Amino acid sequence: MSNNHTFTEAEQAYYDQLDEDVTAGRIPIIGRGTPRGGSRISDDELDAILQGRPNLGHDHATGRGRSPRRQVRLPEHTNNALDAYSAKHNTTASAVIRDAL
């Protein structure tokens, strides 16, 4: 993975501190990934993890362009059911709709 992003001093300091905190065990573990045999994660891998979900713009999940959006009207009872389901499963209505499609 390559990009042309150059970190500011503040960004680099943030990532350096985050790396120290993770290495020292000050960041709680929320899940286990692929075993790495003690090797450190690369800067590119860390960037990919921290930047979150890419948008789905015209270049398809590249982080460029706007994500297409569709709107739909729902009957009140369907909307209420969607809200209840989302709350019960600790997710968003948008995520439920994406999964349904």
CA distances from 36 to 13, 29, 39, 40 (A): 24, 15, 6, 8
Question: For the segment 53-93, what is each residue's pLDDT rounded down to a tens digit?
Answer: 666 655 555 555 566 777 889 899 999 999 999 999 888 88
Considering the entire predicted model, what is its pTM?
A: 0.39
Dist. CA 75–CA 14, nearest whole Å? 47
Instruction: Check: CB of residue 65 under 8 Å from CB of residue 59.
Output: yes
Question: For the segment 1-39, what is each residue's pLDDT rounded down to a tens digit?
Answer: 455 678 888 888 888 888 888 888 888 776 666 666 667
Residue with the two structure tokens 């960037």: 47
Angle subtended at Cα 49 by Cα 9 and Cα 35, rounded to the nearest 5 degrees: 120
